[in-house]
Structure 1
């Protein structure tokens, strides 16, 4: 008679607990060894990628088109087929700010190119309407007076653009005088907007360095005042280098790149901090619903994930519209309308989401939606202002 022999059970190599599946129910360690051939590692990587990819396909469409659906699914315990809320929000946050970084860089380059072209057109025909030498001199004198007036309204480090304009105006005036057969201008003709000479102080610093503000808050420690002084100095230097037309174009680009990169490197961190604040606002305004703070945090994560997805799409649409504008204006205009529709869908989506999750009537939902939005707007504005200040001092 054949006897049934009980097969030996596998035990967890980490804690020794008998295993009932592929993972230890006591410590969570997998039964599979990490010491395996390379082709098995590639197979596991592809399996992980396809698994996450499938979850993305189940997560992103309802996130964008069905307000509150993912949150209600999460509350109902149906979570396996969807990307986790924090991971979803964080990935979309990084992608959105990356797209906006590209859009801002492109917009700044386009604005600078358009400004340069406009300045060249204006300067080229500055004295074209002057028919006599006296009209050219009077026109130049008035323009130089305007530059001299503007010079007093600018800080010491911003007068380079005025000097460039003065030299250009004098050159164009001399060219017009030569075309009219008149004598060129004397070297000291008209008012001058030359910058003040950089004098040296007692410690060898220039006048510009001596005029920079030094932060000295009495109740702050010395190292904090030093850091703030250094930050303010960096902000002034970056702003000066970015907008001083007397600087080289590469120097202006480098300064703008420093500021933009500094801002966009801090924005994702700031938004991660703002999400618990938004959840706290939901907790305060829906305190009688007796929901846990964790539930409000899930609502905040899905709300911000939708916002970042919308901003990502808006940034991509803006870039595509700008690229198509010289080639197909009609397609660019259509994408512009699509971008406007995205911006309109964002507040509507959040309102519908709030109504579906908290199950209150429309009057109370609208009132709380407005109050939460008003509070969050000013908090977000303050945080963005701090981020821009810190980013400009990068």
Structure 2
């Protein structure tokens, strides 16, 4: 859908004389579009642009969710104008995702205060099945004032200055409550952004024989992580209604199935061949995600 324009005959910015085909000034780059019109025209133009954008968003999300790998495939063959740009879509979805997680974390803390529950050291609910599992496995239990007092005493008894400083930061971070959790969420959002090109590199290595440009693998990674955020938001919404819903397992299984279907569509190959690729790709990715998350947690503690 082409934008309707009220064109100038001469550029008001630099004086260049336009030809009929000029939508932008070839001399200075200003758009050839007269905005000095009645308000009703501007309102009509606004709704025209908004509805067009909504149409692009709808088509993009429909293909992203229901047809794994199709958006990446269309990007590779050059069919891009009808869909929201991959990075633009990722940024928008990730902002909503981490905003909702922050609200969820705040709601949990408010509930704990109302019930006079002990402060929780756990940072579960980050929408990261691996990270959540690690925290559970490491006994991220409630931290009572008595435990905190014992931790302070233990820190004072440490003789090594470097180790004492590190442990002291851990205890301080654990005491931070909501502030520490928000800091970890912020750092996790940066981690996920840097994880995308790394996952693209993993795909580049596993499909090296196809001689694809790295950008193709990167776009696959962007679309996959965007879907992951949407899926996690949906799962958290279900959990809000039904508290017994297992978010971690559900997100993990659906993401794995989505990745399998997307790999088949974009890279081709038989179901068996794709499955044999999926196993090592998933393992390398999960190990990388785990290491990066632990590094992010360490950085969050040190910055505290």
The 10-residue stretch of structure 1 (340-349 or 81-90) with the greater mean CA deviation from structure 2: 340-349
Residue 32 of structure 2 corresponds to residue 85 of structure 1? no
1:353 to 262, 278, 289: 262
| Contact 1:88–1:305 (CA under 8 A) maintained in structure 2 | yes
CA 1:339 to 1:276, structure 2 compared with 1: closer, same or farther past 3 Å? closer
Q: Which residue is 1:378 aligned to?
A: 287
| Contact 1:103–1:318 (CA under 8 A) maintained in structure 2 | no
Residue 240 of structure 2 corresponds to residue 293 of structure 1? no
Residue 288 of structure 2 corresponds to residue 367 of structure 1? no
| Contact 1:101–1:264 (CA under 8 A) maintained in structure 2 | yes
Alignment partner of 1:380: what SS?
Answer: helix
Alignment partner of 1:215: what SS?
Answer: helix
Q: Which residue is 1:237 aligned to?
A: 172
Q: Which residue is 2:196 aligned to?
A: 275
Q: Which residue is 1:321 aligned to?
A: 242
Compute the TM-score of the two structures, normalised by the length of structure 2.
0.73
Alignment partner of 2:32: what SS?
Answer: coil
| Contact 2:16–2:27 (CA under 8 A) maintained in structure 1 | no
Shift of 1:339: 8.5
Shift of 1:159: 9.1
RMSD of Structure 2 on Structure 1 (CA)? 4.0
Q: Which residue is 2:136 aligned to?
A: none
Shift of 1:98: 2.2
In structure 2, distance between residues paired with 1:282 and 1:108 = 39
In structure 2, distance between residues paired with 1:95 and 1:197 = 38
Count, aligned residues:
271
In structure 2, distance between residues paired with 1:303 and 1:13 = 43
Q: Deviations over 1:89-145 (max 9, x none)?
A: 11111222222333334445556777849xxxxxxxxxxxxxxxxxxxxxxxxxxxx
Q: Which residue is 1:51 aligned to?
A: 52
In structure 2, distance between residues paired with 1:196 and 1:13 = 67
CA 1:263 to 1:196, structure 2 compared with 1: closer, same or farther past 3 Å? closer
| Contact 1:97–1:268 (CA under 8 A) maintained in structure 2 | yes
Q: Which residue is 1:66 aligned to?
A: 67
Alignment partner of 2:170: what SS?
Answer: helix
Shift of 1:86: 0.6
In structure 2, distance between residues paired with 1:212 and 1:14 = 72
Shift of 1:59: 1.2
In structure 1, distance between residues paired with 2:255 and 2:151 = 51
CA 1:196 to 1:272, structure 2 compared with 1: closer, same or farther past 3 Å? closer
Q: Which runs of 5+ in 2 are unaligned?
A: 1-7, 119-142
Shift of 1:378: 1.1
Q: Which residue is 1:265 aligned to?
A: 186
In structure 2, distance between residues paired with 1:17 and 1:349 = 53
